[in-house]
Each structure stands twice: as C-alpha cells, then as structure tokens.
Amino acid sequence: MTITKETNIFEKVNKEEVYQKLVEIFGKENVSSKSVDLYPYSYDMTECAPNMPDFVVIPENKEQLVELVKYCNQNVIPIVPYISGNNVGGLTIPERGGIIVDFGKKMNKILHINENMMYALLEPGVTFGQLKKHLDENFPHLRYNYPFAPPYAGVVGNAMLSGMNNMSCKIGSMGDSINGLEVITVDGDIARIGSCFYGKEEADPDSWWSRYPMPDLMGLFVNWQGMTGLITKCAVQLWPKKPIRKFEALIIFNLKDVGEICREIGRTEVIDDIALGSIEIVKMCCGIPEPKTFPGEPRMMSISTITAHTENQYKAKKEIYLNIIEKIKQQGIRIYSIDFDEFVKLFNLRLRSLVDLPSMVLSLFEYSGLTWFGSYAPSHKIEELSQKVDKLFKKYNVPLYLYMKSMKYSHYCIFRPIIRFDKFKDEERIHKLLEEIIDTCLELGCIPYKTPAWMTEKMRKKINPGWLKLFEKVKKMMDPNAILNPGRWNT
C-alpha cells in the first residue's frame, strides 16, 4: 500500500464536511474516499514517489466543476485533474493529497466533428481509440494523428502536454494543433479561448476553427499540467485521410549517423513522420525482451511514412525520398533501405504495432514500470546525444531503448531514451540511470516534456531567472492559493 505523506489540507474545513459537500455537488455514486478506490490514483508506471489522494470525484458537467473549484479555492483543498494517468511523468500523482477529478469516466464525449474546417470538439476524457473508431465509422475521409500511447490514453491530455504523434514531422507538436479551449479558472469563471470566443453563454459548434489572431491565452493552459485551470472542452485539428499510406524503413549501422539521417529525411517535406528507434526496440518487438548487442550489427532503424492522394503523387514523393537516401549513402554513411511491410512479414507482425496506431506497443508494457526522458531536442545535437546516452545504458547494463523523431520538417527533434523496469524492485538503480541521462541531455540543451517535479528542480537551476519570475507571477495570478495540481514544476 502506498505510504501517504502527512498533509494538513483540512485546516479550514474538516474531511467529513468536505465529503458531504462533494456528495452534494456530484452525487454519492460519483464520490469516494475509500482506499480501494483511491489507490489506483496514487501512483503511475514511473518511479515517481506515490501519494494517496483523499477523494476521487467523477464529474458529468461544468456546472459541478464551477462549484467544486469555488469551494476548494475558498478552503484551500488541492484538485488534481486526471484523464487516464498515462502521461509517464507522475503528473497526476496527488503530491499534496486532495481531490482527484477523473474526467475519463463521464466527461468523455465527442461533441462535434466539423468536416469542412476539419476539427473535433472533445470533452477531456475522449481516448485515442474512441476518436479513431468514431472517425473510421463516420468520417472515413478524416484522420487524427496518434502517439505510441495505448488506445485508452486521452487525446486532450496528449495535446495539452504538447505530445508528438505520427504526423509530427509535418505538423510539429500536438500543442500547436489545438484550435480552442473551454476552461474553468480557479475562481469559477468559464472562459472560451480561440475563435470560439464569440457568443455569451455557449459557442456555435462551428466556431472552433482557429487559435489566432487574438492574444494567445491558450498559452496559459498548454503544458501547465493542470496547474492553471480545468479544461472542459478542447478542439483539435483533423487531417484528410489519404488513400495511400506506405512505410519506408532504413537500417542504420552507426549511432553517429542518426542525426544526419533524421534531419535530412525530415527536411524532404515529403513524409508525414520519421521515427528512429534503436535496434534493440526491433528485437523487443520480435519477442526478445532483454536483447544483447553484437559487434558490427546495425544500431538503429528508421520508419518514414509517405502518404498520397494518387499513385503518381506517391511515386513523386518516393523518388524524392530515395534521392535523399542516395545522397546520404554518398557521404559514406552505412544504411540499408528496406520495405517495411515485407520486413514485418518476415520477422514479426508485432512490429506493425509501431505504425498501426493507436496500438499497444507491447515492448513498452513488458515490465511493470516505464519511465523516460522525453524531450524536445536541438536537431544538430542528436548524434552527440545518442552516443552519450548509449554509453550510459551500457554502464547500467540496460538494453538501449532510444526513440527520436524529426519535428516540423526538422526545425527541432524529439529525443526520448526510455527505460522499462521492475516497479517497486529496481526503482533506485533505474532512477540513477535516468538522472545521469537527464544531466547529459540538459547539458546539451534538451527540454523535457511532461516533466516530473523532480526533473523541473534540475531545470530550474539552468533556466533564465526572468523566465522563472514571470512563470511564478502567472501561476500566482491563475491560482493564488496553489490548489491546482500543487507541486508540479516545484510550485
């Protein structure tokens, strides 16, 4: 059982009174203070320290949430917004106890799909699997883009945390594809942000088509990890689903070459996505959970996605892709180009889980624990980062699980060393490895996303003091009593 930190959050009002108020707002069936119900919210798959909440509530509408924030703000009781807790950063562990607001159970409706302006208006609890099914069945010409996260992870949580998905080479961070938000601030006000801001009480469902050109208040909520307000609606961009979608794979022999390959293929502007993973990931997907590395064998594999409306368009894109591969080879870089579909048939169909998203990428679930240093990285440092991180995995005798991507045609990259581990058994050793990875990557300018509080502590030592001061001022203005997901970013 999780050991709960001593918190003293019931100074102004006692716990029983809080329970009665929650029942009044949400109804008895939507409130619990029983350990058996609270325990699943006390930890996640990472090695971040667990802590028990005091209550969980399941909201059904924004009116309930307005009442809740007003009450909690007045009585200084922490609120931790939660969708499915799949952020891999300990972000929904209630650091100071308080109330978990679980959006995943009932506030999970797809409110509107706009075919003309290509967006989906969602409640926060909508999952990737749910959205994909809905689009495939009702709007087969439209698509969303998906991460390696399981189908039961939240779309809005991913967008709000600037996730990187399988069209990121083309469109960049998922934070950029948010068109509009409805949020409840800590004083109980409801604000609509984006082109949906016309209309006093409710917005026209067709009005959620743009984030700009008014002052961008979205920045007060994106990447804030639930520390500034409760999101009740979010509009995300959809894309045309092209009839042709094929995958090109490359086998890469030297780690020092991955940067060049990632950047150059990303810059062709003909692919939706390029994901590069260490060869150990391929072996894991083929059923070897603890792969060994042998001298002379390849180190990485890349998978690029090419989509097209017609065969001719596909051929033209592929020609450009192959030209780049040729240029890369001419520099003396050792790579093999292979047909991903054939490769998968030959080795293991489980490899398709890397491209047919959303899916359960089983290699990420083989152990009870999963943690990572997920970061936005400067493109020109990828080779140095890869080689340094490889050495650290070797030092700790952990198979290299390294994943990266070109973002927005290589303006920047994702660099994500991942560690699977036995939870409650091997956490200390794994945490040390992760710390060493972080020190190396921060030194080279990486910026972690979905950042656990202990990581932001390290970042704070490097961040410009002016930024930190402004950040604290904004947080204080948005949440003066520090009740919204307290402890995140060491607030």
Ligand X SMILES: Cc1cc2nc3c(=O)[nH]c(=O)nc-3n(C[C@H](O)[C@H](O)[C@H](O)COP(=O)(O)OP(=O)(O)OC[C@H]3O[C@@H](n4cnc5c(N)ncnc54)[C@H](O)[C@@H]3O)c2cc1C
Does residue 379 belong to the site contacting ligand X (CB under 6 A)?
Answer: no
Does residue 148 belong to the site contacting ligand X (CB under 6 A)?
Answer: yes
Return the number of the residue (124 or 399) whose C-beta is nearest ligand X. 124
Return the number of the residue (105 or 380) whose C-beta is nearest ligand X. 105
Name the amino acid, one letter, at 73.
N
Does residue 48 belong to the site contacting ligand X (CB under 6 A)?
Answer: no
Q: Which residues contact 172 (CB under 8 A, 6 or more apart)?
A: 407, 408, 411
Among 263, 478, 300, smallest CA distance to 387 is for 300
Using the contact rule CB under 6 A, the part of the chain among 2-10, 161-169, 345-353, 391-399 near ligand X is 161-169
Does residue 55 belong to the site contacting ligand X (CB under 6 A)?
Answer: no
Q: Other C-beta atoms within 10 Å of 330: how many?
A: 8
Return the number of the residue (105 or 388) whose C-beta is nearest ligand X. 105
Q: Tell me the C-alpha distance between 63 and 329, whole Å.
A: 61
Does residue 84 belong to the site contacting ligand X (CB under 6 A)?
Answer: yes
Q: Which residues contact 335 (CB under 8 A, 6 or more apart)?
A: 250, 251, 252, 253, 257, 261, 325, 328, 329
CB of 407 to ligand X, least distance (A): 11
Residues 100-139: x where in contact with ligand X by CB under 6 A, - otherwise, as a string: ---x--------------------x---------------
Site for ligand X in 244-283 (CB under 6 A): none
Give the CB-side neighbour count of residue 185, counting CA atoms within 13 A.
17
The residue within the footprint of ligand X, chosen from 32, 42, 46, 87 (CB under 6 A), is 87
Which alpha helices (DSSP H) does 108-257 contain, by range? 128-138, 155-160, 168-171
Residues 395-434: x where in contact with ligand X by CB under 6 A, - otherwise, as a string: ----------------------------------------
Q: What tokens appear for 81 in the block? A: 């917004």
The residue within the footprint of ligand X, chosen from 225, 268, 386, 451 (CB under 6 A), is 225
Q: How many residues bind ligand X (CB under 6 A)?
A: 32
Which alpha helices (DSSP H) does 381-452 contain, by range? 382-395, 427-443
Does residue 355 belong to the site contacting ligand X (CB under 6 A)?
Answer: no
The residue within the footprint of ligand X, chosen from 231, 392, 434, 483 (CB under 6 A), is 231
Return the number of the residue (149 or 400) whose C-beta is nearest ligand X. 149
Q: Tell me the C-alpha distance between 20 and 34, whole Å.
A: 14
Q: Tell me the C-alpha distance between 258 and 403, whole Å.
A: 11
Using the contact rule CB under 6 A, the part of the chain among 70-78, 149-157, 345-353, 451-459 near ligand X is 149-157
DSSP 364: G
The residue within the footprint of ligand X, chosen from 126, 131, 153, 407 (CB under 6 A), is 153
Among 191, 179, 152, 180, smallest CA distance to 62 is for 191
Residues 171-210: x where in contact with ligand X by CB under 6 A, - otherwise, as a string: ----------------------------------------
CB of 160 to ligand X, least distance (A): 5
Q: What tokens appear for 460 in the block? A: 């704070």
Q: Other C-beta atoms within 10 Å of 384: how many?
A: 14
The residue within the footprint of ligand X, chosen from 450, 475, 487, 489 (CB under 6 A), is 450
Does residue 358 belong to the site contacting ligand X (CB under 6 A)?
Answer: no
Does residue 147 belong to the site contacting ligand X (CB under 6 A)?
Answer: yes
Q: Tell me the C-alpha distance between 321 and 270, whole Å.
A: 7
Return the number of the residue (234 or 328) whose C-beta is nearest ligand X. 234
Phi/psi of residue 392, each to 5°? -70, -40
CB of 294 to ligand X, least distance (A): 27
The residue within the footprint of ligand X, chosen from 50, 59, 78, 85 (CB under 6 A), is 85
Measured in whole angstroms, how far is the alpha carbon of residue 241 from the centre of its chain?
A: 22
Return the number of the residue (157 or 180) whose C-beta is nearest ligand X. 157
Measured in whole angstroms, how far is the alpha carbon of residue 371 from the centre of its chain?
A: 13
CB of 161 to ligand X, least distance (A): 5
DSSP 80: E
Q: Regarding beta strands 55-57 and 99-102, do their DSSP bridges make them parallel or antiparallel, or are they unpaired?
A: parallel
Measured in whole angstroms, how far is the alpha carbon of residue 221 from the centre of its chain?
A: 15
CB of 98 to ligand X, least distance (A): 12
Q: CB of 221 within 8 A of CB of 229?
A: yes
Does residue 83 belong to the site contacting ligand X (CB under 6 A)?
Answer: yes
Does residue 90 belong to the site contacting ligand X (CB under 6 A)?
Answer: no
Q: What tokens appear for 357 in the block? A: 């998203």
Q: Tell me the C-alpha distance between 272 and 357, whole Å.
A: 14
Q: What tokens appear for 382 in the block? A: 């990828």
The residue within the footprint of ligand X, chosen from 53, 59, 78, 81 (CB under 6 A), is 81
Does residue 149 belong to the site contacting ligand X (CB under 6 A)?
Answer: yes
Residues of this chain that bind ligand X (CB under 6 A): 80-88, 91-92, 103, 124, 147-150, 153-154, 157-158, 160-161, 163-164, 225-226, 230-231, 364, 450, 485
